[in-house]
Amino acid sequence: MNTNDVIEKRLARLRVVMATSKDARSLNTERSYVSHVKQFLWFCAYCPQVKSAGPEELARLYVESRARGWSESSMRVFRNALVFYYRWVVEMPLGDLGSWAMAKRAKRLPVWLPDQEMRALLGCMKGVTRLMAEVDYGSGLRSHELASLRWKDLDFAENQIVVRQGKGAKDRVTFLPAACVPALLEHKERMRALWEMDRRNGRAGVEVPSGKFDGREWPWFWVWAAAGESVDPRSGIVRRHHVHRSTLGKAIGEAVRIWGGDKRVTVHALRHSFATEMLMDGVPIHELKELMGHAHISTTEIYAHCLPRLTARRGSPMDRAPVVGNVVRFPGAVVMGDERRVG
């Protein structure tokens, strides 16, 4: 078996493990891991030290020779891919990788829009993408969570959205904005007609997380179903998928151009704006953590950037009552006209 066959066999094993593990990664993460591991394996195949060096040393040599221009984010993805590969495919967990593996993302303030500016931006949008943006701003969903919503995840009776298998494979509950319900019900009728057409035409059901579910059933249908069909990148089945996550991003970019704002607004700015407004409205930060689906409270604390505006809006408690006669003169001070003498 030649080198190419060996590498492709290991990559195939990596794909199977990633798709079937209980902590299955998204398709984008799977592609990133496979790409990084493939380049690393080809490097090892021609590295002179491959017979004498351990995997940790080979990883260091690879980083020193190939990753000089990488960002901290790329370095972190490579580290995670390598750890996953050795733990689950080679079944030999890595030891200490060295200082290069400790790259941390610099903390930056999130880009957000005050409510008035956000509504002005939404006013420059129309159609389904505007409804998507309104739901996102009102619920704080991540872009992939928004795009992959199914009708069974919307609870119109309680005005709640149940996020299934969010980041970290965690479920959570957040708001379903009541202001969006009428438009969502109209959109539901259109999606129902699209689903019925697929059933009449004998189309394959939508992707479902397990074989025990039936993708042809209405509750599993996408809230934001794509207009056409495409090939499932994993199974190869031609079926209807949800709209691509970049759809909303492109619509927001066009709306920003029309609106004329001077901020770089992305889809994630809707989530940031939701979190900021919730915190400013007095929602406890530990409750906001659950709404946002953060694993650690330190991630939610980044929204403390809004505190200066919060103090400007509410004011100090000392300023809520008039101040009368609270001037205490210095003992011995004698006031004569405009002059003050201290005895």
Catalytic positions: 142, 167, 268, 271, 294, 303
**118: exposed, middle or buried (Cβ count in 10 Å: 0-12, 13-18, 19+):** buried
Give DSSP secondary structure letters for 218-243.
Answer: GGGSBTTEEEEEEE-TTT--EEEEEP
Beta-carbon contacts of 178 under 8 Å, excluding residues fewer than 6 positions away, are 159
φ and ψ at residue 164, rounded to 5 degrees: -100, 130
The CA distance from 8 to 312, in Å, is 60
Give DSSP secondary structure letters for 115-178.
Answer: HHHHHHHHTT--HHHHHHHHHHHHH---HHHHHT-BGGGEETTTTEEEE-S-TTS--EEEE--G
φ and ψ at residue 37, rounded to 5 degrees: -65, -40
Is the Cβ–Cβ distance between 204 and 237 less than 8 Å? yes
DSSP state of 87: I
> Is the alpha carbon torsion for 217, 218, 219, 221 positive or negative?
positive
Separation in Å, CA 221 to CA 69, 98, 158, 235, 273: 43, 47, 20, 18, 29
Q: How many CB atoms lie within 10 A of CB 152?
A: 14
DSSP tally for the chain: helices H, then strands E: 13, 7
